[in-house]
Structures are given as structure tokens and as C-alpha cells.
Amino acid sequence: MVMARFVEDFWGEKNSGFDVLYHNMKHGQISTKELADFVRERATIEEAYSRSMTKLAKSASNYSQLGDPSQCDSNTKDFWMNMQAVTVYLKKLSEQNPAASYYNVDVLKYQVSSNGIQSTPLNLATYWKCSAGTTDLRVDYKYNPEAMVAPSVLSNIQVVVPVDGGVTNMQSLPPAIWNAEQMKAFWKLSGISEKSENGGSGSLRAKFDLSEGPSKPTTLAVQFLSEGNTLSGVDIELVGTGYRLSLVKKRFATGRYLADY
């Protein structure tokens, strides 16, 4: 059984108005007109795939307000920026760290409902064989491109498996690291994708010699991330004359990603 929670990072940089706001704010020169221009500006989160919008379960922010649903089509939600709140927050950040070249603001947080194992980009299955003297472990993994809007590489993959029973020696393939103090085995994989061997499917194997066996099967934890992609398919569009997003970055990463035997 796989239990998964993901964190999506989605942010953009605007190349005109915000730069002016930051500069003027540091020098105490924010005018009423400038603030009004920003208040009139709105941010629109546009769903690139209609099926993904139905999965948006919850969204919240201290700096944006949900627009009138009657003004939105079924695949789009509009959010108006509360620029007064943003300005106050940015001013506070600038006072705390005046030397910073930029500041990050959480504009919108959202939750996405999942479809169980179909929503996990890396499916796992664990197999334990425990005896008094040894423990054999196999972890099968399989890349699942259907969980993503567009298949992308899963990178910085780490698999952590606690093993008790007084481990005295470990043999593993691919090679893992044994931490005797934490009583955990660590595997690190560079990346998995459709282009990987066997389409991104493989196994981690280990044999542990024990002095105080048998071991008890445990829950393993996995970490990975993917750049330039999201699981929800949510996209963002900035609506307003004179402004545009100069840079948009997307990323999702594991939060709590566990697999039971």
C-alpha cells in the first residue's frame, strides 16, 4: 500500500510593475495611483486540462480573493490580488532584510484530490523475508507517466528503509548505504523516466545479516521531485495591461510518501 502526499511549487516573476513597487516601497514612494493600478490587476489561474480543474478540492490565500464564479468558464477560476495586503507584507519583509534583491510571497495555496495509486508517479511494492539470522528485502518500483500532465523525469530519488534485528552486514543491489546509528538503509537514484531502462521499472534488493533477529517488516519512505511539471495540470495567467509574467517555474515534490509491505 502506498500513502502519498505531494507539494506543488508554482511561481512566476513579473518583469515590470513589481520591480517598481519594490524599489518605491524601499524608498517610501508608493503613490496612490500605483497602488490602485496593482489593486485593479487580477491573477487568473487557468486550467489547461478540464479534467484537472475538477480535482481542485480547496484553495486559500491571504493575498487573493476568488472572483465571481458566474464570470468564469468551467475550466477557469479568477483571483483578484489584495495588493494592499501584499504591499504591507512586502514592506515588512524589506524592513527585515533590506539587502534582499527579491522577496517570495505565497499568493495561492490549493489542494488536489487524488485517485489513489493512479495519481502516484512512482508506484512501489515491498517484499520481506525475515528469519532469525537474515532478512531479505525487495522493493519494486514502476514509473507511472499517467499521473502527470506531461511525463517528466523524477530526480533526487531517495528510498529509506528501517531494518531492526541487529544488522551486522548488508549486501545490496544497486549499492545502498547502511546507517547503523539510525538502523536504516538508504538508496539514492539519479533519475527515473519513460526513457529509463525497462520504461522506468526496476527493483532494489538487499540482504541483511542479523545478530538479534528476526526483523519486523517496516514502512519505507521515498522522496523525489520533478522540475517543470505539476500533477494537477494547473496553469497560471496574469491578466492586466502593461504587465506580463517573465518567468514561470513549476515543480512537484514528495511530502509524505510511504509504502507498506
Encode pLDDT of 226-245 as tens digits: 999 888 888 888 777 766 77
Q: Which of 24-33, 61-70, 132-141: highest mean pLDDT?
A: 132-141
The pTM of the full predicted model, rounded to 2 decimals, is: 0.73
Encode pLDDT of 22-38 as tens digits: 333 333 443 434 433 43
Domain ranges of the chain: 17-115+231-243, 122-226
Whether residue 204 has pLDDT greater than 80:
yes
More confident residue, 109 or 45: 109
Encode pLDDT of 212-226 as tens digits: 999 999 999 999 999
Q: Hey, which CATH number is domain 122-226, 2.60.40.1170, 3.30.479.30, 3.50.50.60, 2.60.290.11?
A: 2.60.40.1170
Encode pLDDT of 72-90 as tens digits: 566 777 777 777 888 888 8
DSSP line for the chain? -EEEEEEEEEEEEESSHHHHHHHHHHTT---HHHHHHHHH-EEEEEESSHHHHTTEEEEE-SSEEE--GGGS-TTEEEEEE-HHHHHHHHHHHHHH-TT-S-------EEEE---GGGG-SEEEEEEEEE-SSEEEEEEEEEE-GGGSSS---EEEEEEEEE--S-EEEEEEES--EEETTTTEEEEEEEEE-TTSGGGGEEEEEEEEEESSPPP----EEEEEEEET--SS-EEEEEESTT--EEEEEEEEEEEEEEE--
